[in-house]
Each structure stands twice: as structure tokens, then as C-alpha cells.
Structure 1
Amino acid sequence: MSVITHKDGVFYGGSNFPIPSHVNFGRMFVDKLLQHKNKVALINGSTGESISYTDLAKKIVNVATSLLKLGVRQGDVVAICSENRIEYLIANIATYYLGAVSTFLNIAYTKDELIHTSNISKPKFAFLSPDAQKLHFDTLKNHTTITKFIVFGDVATTEIGFDKLTLDDPNGSVFPADFYGQAQTALILYSSGTTGLPKGAKITHLNLIVTVFQSSTQPDVSKSLLTVAPWCNTMGIMTLTDALMLGKTVVFLRRFDESLYLQVIEKYKVGELLIAPPVLIILSKSPRISKYDLSSVVLIHSGGAPLDSDVITLVKSKFPNLRNVTQGYGMTETTGSITRELDSAPKQGSVGFISEGIIVKVVDVETRKALGPNERGEICVKGLVLFNGYIGKERGDDYDDDGFFKTGDIGYYDEEGFFFIVDRIKELIKYKAWQVSPAELEAVVLLHEAVKDVGVIGTPDPTAGELPTAFVVKKPGSNVSEKDIIEFVSTKVSPWKRLRGGVKFIDEIPKTGSGKILRRKLRELIPKKVASKL
């Protein structure tokens, strides 16, 4: 771990990075792939399809050559709309290599969300998986700036087949873009939209390069990594590229399926898991988990939401050789991690130390004064990983007077420099004079043996302001009642944190692709006559 300094309530991560003068992450990535030669780079856990590091690098350069002939130029925006698959990564890195800009359109988007995000980035070219073509082709063709579509596979359509782009061209040559030391936009990512419509965040090649060096402090290339995080979000794509830069074998799935997930761990003897907290909770409480050999798993990485200490204890009881469950904290605007917990220095419940290339302070929400150890406030960040702003949006109130980006997250650090995340400012429930953390209540509700999943919000109330309300997914066969859960929670929390808004039973908790609870979707389930009372 690099040296972390702390002065006047501000933490400074290390910043000694060997930045290449061309500042092209795509070129740097391909160069690194070639060092790992014929080792297996990627395995599709669903199909068994795999690709070596050498072949992955070769296909990236071939696709970059083909894209250049199709008219893709430096600065052009290229969209990718697909589930996780090997072609996804090839298309993404080939775009970087040319100096064009990637953007990811989530295949799970609704028509309106697809139009909204593509209107932000205005792509000229698009890669589609066959599934994305069936779902979204008409919308993208009729409502966006896209002029050429490339479909993964050798498809019998009027569109361009991806397989043709990967062929060797003896007469073709492509030179990776050289930015001559300048930080250029590489990727447009969309904020998760937990509290509103997504915004387009501009991620630079420099951001990506620095983020890779954050991960190089704890490599263990002998252990394969299993990920189900969608590559269209920050956690998914950054973990994937970081692992490949280190030379790991990455096993991936397009979505979480409990039985398949467990089968893949057993089949490929997976050593490390990357998994969002809600999915990890579901997995750990599953009756199927005892039927599989999970002895190969030694490390679990969790991110996207706070993970309660009791849940970590439960997880450790399910994996016989598990050393640690490490947590990280980050966001799209910081190209991934702000803090990360090292396997060599864990502290249960924390999200670790600040990452390299970043500066962090915790400030009082009202006075904006930097706070000391164990004082809760808003986390603010700046540094080499900080994004280059939102498309079409002025800096405004997103930054403070010292240039720190205001994350909107509430947290604190202890005397040793470990950070802890409490909740988001906008998600805190305001009950009378008290602030109640939804994440804290969710952790308590999940301790009930009959609960499979839960999301907590505040229900508007004319007297109290908001009442803590839980939306609960029961375990199959359970007959737990609203009263049972309310009484269970009341024995474990302070009076102002009780579920005074009641318990609503639903079939599924709405979440983003990275596993964050979409509380605005839960708020839509509150009757309008109740919401209008606020």
C-alpha cells in the first residue's frame, strides 16, 4: 500500500504513477495483455467460451483497424449495448485504442431511459448483441444519432457482423492514438440514477490509467475471479479491466442465477468473487449453498452499498476457506474506488483506506468544516481519478470552494484511518429531529430468518416528516407477518428508528445493475394520497 498522509482533516493518497506519455489507456491495455501471452484471460461461465490474452490483444487491434475503415475517428462516440460477453470488451478497448469515446447503453434500459442516455452522448456508431438488437434496434435507429450498427456474431442481417471485423487484414494497419500528454475523454458513463435520471460523466484516459495502478498493490494472479457485475456500470468494467491488467483469469456471467453461480465456482475452482451486497446476502441465505464445493473461494470483494458486520459473519460461515470479505467504496465520478480494504489489513465493517491518486475529507453538512475521527459528515473528494464533469452540466453545487467533489455520502473515519460509510444524504429518512439510515435498518431486517431481501424508505407524514417503511421480500414458504417484522426490529433499534411506516410485502426489490436499491421506485409504490400529505 502506498503512503497515506493526513493533515488538518484531509487524507492524501499516493500519487507516484508511471503515466505513459501517449496517455492512451487502450494502447497501454493491449501492451499489458501481450505480456501475459497464452494464459486464459476470459471465460464465459454460461457457455464455456474462453479466450487467451494473446488472442484478446490480437482481436482488439483487428477490430480497431476495421473501425478505422468504417469511418470511426478520434473523438467519435461509439455505443455498446449488450450483456456481458467477450466481444463487449474487445469493442470497448478497440474504441479507446483509436482515440474514440466509448459509452455503454444498459441493455436493461427502458425505451425512455435508452433515448435519454443516448441523447446525452450522441453516439455515431453502435455495437449491439443479438438480444439488444431485438430489444432496442428500432428505438436506437429512429431516435438517435447512430448511423452504423455492428451486431455481435456473424449475423444474417443488413447490419455489419462483428465477426468480420475481427479477421486479419494483411493490408491494414492502425496506429493507436497519441494524446501527447493531454487527458482526453475515453468513456461516458451514466450515474446510477438512484435518485433521478442518469447524468453522463466524462471519464478520461488518465482516470482509467490511474485507477489501474490503484489495483496493482494487491495482485494474486493465481486466483481466478468470478464477476456477475454488468460491464455497463463502473464497478463491473473497472474491476474487469483492472483484473486483466494484472493477468488474472476472469470468469463472468451475464446475470446472477443462484444455481449457475454456485456451479461455476465449483467447476472452475474460483478463488475470488466480486459481488454486490444484496446478491451476497441472497446467496448466503440460500439453502442450495451447502450442496456445492466452495472450498476454492478465499476472498470476496463487495461494493456498491454498505455491508453489515453481521452479514459478513454469516458469509464467512458459508465458505470454509474464506479469509476475508473486503469492502470498497466508490462511484462513477471517481472512476471506481475512493477507498478499498486490503486483504492484508482488514477491519470488519469498514471500507478500508483511501485509494491512490485521491484526496478525501469528511465535512460537516451545514458548516462545511473538516471533521476529525469518528465524526459523521459528507465525504468530499478530488484527485487524479476524479472525472472531467458531466456532459452539458456546469460544475454548480457539485463542488465546494476548494474544488472537492461533494459525493452526497455520509461517513466517517477512525483513528487508524479506516473509513466507514453510513448512507446517502438524499436517502436519509428524517423522522422528527432524527436522521435514520435506510441501510442500517435494512441490515437489521435481513437478520430475520424469514426475510430474503428488503429495501427501506421514508413514507411522508404531516407530523413526523417521514416514517421508516420497509419493503420486504419473504423467503419461499414463509408466512411471516408485518407485525412479526415490526416487533423484531423494535427490539434491536432506538425508538426513532422503528418501522413506524409499516412493512409492505413485494415480490422483488428494484435495483440498479450494480445492486444498489432504487429507492425512487419504492417511493412510487406509496399511495399518492399518502405522499401528498408531506
Structure 2
Amino acid sequence: MTVAWKKRCDNNHLGHFFVDYMRKNGNAICQIDAATGEEESCASVLSRSIRLAQCFGKLGLVPGDTMVIGGRNHLDVHIPFYAGMISGLPVSGIDPALKSNELKCYFNIVKPKIAFCENAMYEEYKHTIQEEGHNTKIVTFGAGDNSLDKLMETYQDLQPQEEFQVAIFNTDEVYCWLASTSGSTGRPKVVALTHSHLLQMLDFFRIPPAKNGLRRTALNLSTLHWLSGLFNALLMPIHHIKVQTSTPVTTELVIDIINKYKPAGTLFTPTLIAPVLHHENHCDLTCFDILKIGGSKIHSELLSSLKARLREDTVIYLAYGQTEIGGLSLESFSEESLTVANVIGTNEPKFEIKIVSPETGKEILEPNVTGELHVRGPRMACYYNDPKETESVFTEDGFLKTGDLFYKTEHGRYVFVERLKMLLKYKNYQVIPPEVEKVILTHPGVADVCVTGVPHPDDGEHIVACVVRRPGYHISAGDIKELVAKHLSPSKHLHGGVVFLDTLPTTASGKVARLQVKKLVLSANRE
């Protein structure tokens, strides 16, 4: 990447990239907290980021020292991230609500030298650091002796910002991002991505500028512990005003923000799209130039409903990627996706992709046969401080075993099926939850559904459907069971019953929390 920088060098990195475009945007608005209406300019964000980077130097931090950020999406949360990029400090974004026992897992992997958290979480962080014996300075967001503002006030002898120079280091060796990725697979892991990894991904996540050149808003719903939150923080201010909220994200709030700020683009998860479309409060989606959808499988019916609410020229962009890949490896656009549900086409020639049988380990060459997706390319990442885990997910010839099931069509397009570990086993039959969910969603009284299983001593697992009713409908468990029995073979019938919920539990990124659902149905009233 070419960066206009007065001290040109061979090791331009994300810090150079950030400083360059923030200086160019000057007094233009950079970010808005929709919860409070507060605004901040690019010049102010850059000034605070540089000042904090100078503070890091005063604290003795050097490139390679690690940082943890656990905060809500207020106007302060991205300042340490930007300062970390400038200084060469790898950043690990973590869920701001993690408690001490959960924090231990991440702290023992990352071993942070400095940690940023909400005021209310100070004692949790302090307890974790003391109990585990880490040498970590805690800085809080908000007022107080340990606050971010207090830290920047402490050092009065900082050099003028005009003389400040971004740190120079090897972009292939110094990490930028330590991504926590527990997902659906159990214990936490931390994926290490270098500046070079992420510089190669910038074009995929950037929202193009408005045709008239004006700075419109873009909506950031991802917190920093998701890779999408990193790219939104980094890329949205280039051409747009980053709008986010310091309060918990609800359907009502998302609708209000869209109606008020009319964003040109955002990243949506399928679990957020459905409640927005079905909510009694109307959401005007015609403001969007581009919608990026990812995080989980989207059913074709939902995609069709979404497209009907958008302008004809709005681009719907489906993407598939993993943190271990450093971002995206497959993508598709709406016209293609509406023809075959969840079709995703190869987006970059640099990636080698194949489908492998989980049972035999052999590559599947026939079309429309499901297997595990294996990916090999230039941005493959490792697990930080965990060589055994890194070795376990890569084949001997360097392919990443994604853990996701795909099949390839006759036309060479890849179709997402499900997470390999989310497959259910009824007797000797494998049941793919989305196949059953797709049938249940055809009922007009169903707003949302998640299919899971409960253990059974003879049959392995019995299939259970967790259903969210659409307002105004009074559907019964019998209605759902009958619908499934009518359209699917006996191995996919709801032998475990139906559970009715007001909402499906979700992760912080908006995905359905399938492991939480699986635990929930064990004690729920199954009809």
C-alpha cells in the first residue's frame, strides 16, 4: 500500500495509513455516538491518538508489547486501538462484559502490558491481574484516577504533535491484532495477525464513498473484540462518518439510528436482519448504498425480503471468512445469491480452496457433495502463544481446516451449509440444522428459529426446534412438527419437541449462540 508520509520507509504499516487519512480529513466529523449525539472530528481523534501513543512511550511500552481493550462503542474506545497501531502495540479486543474467570483465559494467553476497560469492570480486571501475577497497567474509560483522560493529563512534557513520528518496525513480524476467537468450539483461542495481513484486507472491508463525494454516515454495530469491529474502526472514517452507540444494541435502537442517520453502509448479521424487517416500527432501508452480510448462514427467503426493502441499486454483499484467514476468502453479490441460497464465489485468485471429506480426508471433486472447506493463501495466521493449536488446524501441505461445511455447484460456486461441529446425529443419520430451519421458516407465524439437539440414550440426539413466534400468530408445537414431518424425512423430525422463546440468544456479534441454545433446551419446556 502506498502511503503519503514525509518520512517514507519500507515498513509503512497501519499506523501510517491511519495518520495519513486522518490528517487529510482534518476537521471533518469522524465519529458519532448515537446514544448521546456526541460528535468528534478526525483532527480531534488523531490528536488524542497521538497523545496516547506518546503516553505509551512514557510508560516504557515498545513495539510488540501487548494491549487489551474491553469497551463499549463510545467515542473513547477506538483511541487506544489507533494509538496501538501507531506505536506497534498488538491489540486484543475482548468482550467488555467478561468476568474474572473468563478474563483469566485471555490474559494468560495475551499477557498484556496495558489494559483498557469500563469503569464498572476495574475491580474484575484488577482481581484477575493480581491473581494471575501479570504486570499490567489498567486504564478505565470515564472519570477517575485510572481513567484515559487522567493518563493523558499526567505527562505535561510531551513533545509537540507536529514533531511526532510514527514508530517504524517490520510489518511482517510485529503483530497488529490478537483476535479472541472462542466462537462455538469451546475454549478461547487468540489469532495473531500482522500489519501485513491486515493491509492486504483493507479493500474488502472498505465501504465505497458516495457518488457525490459527500461524507455520509456508516453504521458500526461491531465491538472491538470482533474482526469486523477492527475494520469498521479503521476504514469507515476514510470516506464516511462512523456512527455507533455506547448503549446495548437492540432492534428498536438500530431502527432509530438507521431512520435518523441514514447510513450508506453497514455490516449486518442475519440474526439482526430478521427482527428489523419484522418489527412493528418501520425501518427505512432505502438509505443504503451497500449492505455487507456475514457471520452466519442467511436463508434465501430472508434475503429476498431484505432486497424488497432496499433500493434497486443497493448492493448486497455476502462474504465468508475466518479470523484465521485474516478476513475474507469468498464473496458473492445479491443477484447470484438469490438464485442459489448462500452461494459464495471465490473472491481472490491468491487463495486455493478445496472441499475435503471429513470421514476420509480425501478431496471431493464431484459437484453438490458436502465436505469441509480447506483454504490456503498468503494471509494465514497462527494462534498466539499456542503452537499445538496452530498445528492442529493446518494440514501438512498448509491448508487451513475451516471447520465449515460447503459444497461446490456445477458452475464452480461454493455454497455454505453449516459448521461441522454443529451437525446433529440422529441414529446413523447426520442432520444439518439449517435444512430443518429453512422448512420451519416457511410458516408465516415463525419470526425466527434455531434447531439443535438433546441427548438420547438410544438414538444419539433428538432434534429440537426453538421458535420465536411472529406477533399476531398463535402457532402451536403441533403445527411446527406437522410442517417438518410433511417436508422432511423421519430422521429430521422434531422428536425432541418444540421450545417457544421470545428471542433467540445471540453472541455479541449478533450470531445465534447455538451452544447457549443447546444448553437452554435441556431444562426448557419442550412441547
TM-score by length of 2: 0.87
Pair 1:424-2:436 in alignment = no
Gaps of 5+ in 1: 1-16, 529-534
Which sits farther off after the overlay, 108-117 or 175-184? 175-184
Which sits farther off after the overlay, 60-69 or 448-457? 448-457
Instruction: Report the count of equivalent residues.
Output: 508
Alignment map for 1:23-62 (pairs within 5 Å): 23-62=12-51
2:269 corresponds to which of 247, 268, 276:
276
Residue 379 of structure 1: aligned partner: 373
| CA deviation after TM superposition for structure 1 residue 342, in Å | 4.3
| CA deviation after TM superposition for structure 1 residue 126, in Å | 1.1
| CA deviation after TM superposition for structure 1 residue 33, in Å | 2.6
Which sits farther off after the overlay, 265-274 or 340-349? 340-349
Q: Distance in 2 between matches of 1:146 and 1:450?
A: 55
1:242 corresponds to which of 228, 235, 239:
235
Which secondary structure state, in structure 2, belongs to the residue aligned with residue 60 of structure 1? helix
Residue 307 of structure 1: aligned partner: 298
Q: Distance in 2 between matches of 1:37 and 1:491?
A: 62
| CA deviation after TM superposition for structure 1 residue 139, in Å | 4.3
| CA deviation after TM superposition for structure 1 residue 227, in Å | 2.4
TM-score by length of 1: 0.86
Alignment map for 1:288-437 (pairs within 5 Å): 288-289=281-282, 292-319=283-310, 323-342=314-333, 348=339, 349-350=341-342, 352-356=344-348, 357-372=350-365, 373-394=367-388, 395-437=390-432
CA contact (8 A) 1:489 1:498 kept: yes
Gaps of 5+ in 2: 4-8
When residues 467 and 508 of structure 1 are mapped into structure 2, their CA distance, relative to the original with a 3 A threshold, is same
Alignment map for 1:90-109 (pairs within 5 Å): 90-109=79-98
Which sits farther off after the overlay, 421-430 or 171-180? 171-180
1:248 maps to amino acid:
H
Which secondary structure state, in structure 2, belongs to the residue aligned with residue 63 of structure 1? helix
| CA deviation after TM superposition for structure 1 residue 280, in Å | 0.9
Q: Distance in 1 between matches of 2:30 and 2:442?
A: 38
| CA deviation after TM superposition for structure 1 residue 416, in Å | 4.2
| CA deviation after TM superposition for structure 1 residue 181, in Å | 5.3
2:178 corresponds to which of 184, 188, 191:
188
Q: Distance in 2 between matches of 1:478 and 1:344?
A: 32
Q: Distance in 1 between matches of 2:218 and 2:203?
A: 18
1:517 maps to amino acid:
V
Instruction: Provide the identity percentage.
Output: 28
Residue 5 of structure 1: aligned partner: none
1:252 corresponds to which of 244, 247, 250:
244
1:353 maps to amino acid:
G
2:134 corresponds to which of 129, 141, 145:
145
Q: What per-residue deviation string (whole Å, max 9, x for no partner) do you get for residues 138-194 of structure 1?
A: 4455546253222224x2x33143365289944575432322453321221111331
Q: Distance in 1 between matches of 2:479 and 2:357?
A: 38
Instruction: Determine which structure has greater relative contact order: mean sequence separation of CA pairs < 8 Å that are 6+ residues apart, divided by chain length.
Output: 1
Which secondary structure state, in structure 1, belongs to the residue aligned with residue 434 of structure 2? helix
Q: Distance in 1 between matches of 2:509 and 2:372?
A: 22
Q: Distance in 2 between matches of 1:471 and 1:77?
A: 41
Q: Distance in 1 between matches of 2:517 and 2:225?
A: 23
1:444 maps to amino acid:
V
2:297 maps to amino acid:
P
CA contact (8 A) 2:189 2:383 kept: no
CA contact (8 A) 1:36 1:53 kept: yes
Q: Distance in 1 between matches of 2:502 and 2:167?
A: 49
CA contact (8 A) 1:238 1:335 kept: no
When residues 34 and 493 of structure 1 are mapped into structure 2, their CA distance, relative to the original with a 3 A threshold, is farther
| CA deviation after TM superposition for structure 1 residue 236, in Å | 2.3
When residues 68 and 358 of structure 1 are mapped into structure 2, their CA distance, relative to the original with a 3 A threshold, is farther
Which sits farther off after the overlay, 205-214 or 54-63? 54-63
1:162 corresponds to which of 149, 152, 155:
149
Alignment map for 1:364-513 (pairs within 5 Å): 364-372=357-365, 373-394=367-388, 395-475=390-470, 479-513=474-508
| CA deviation after TM superposition for structure 1 residue 375, in Å | 3.0
Q: Distance in 2 between matches of 1:272 and 1:424?
A: 28
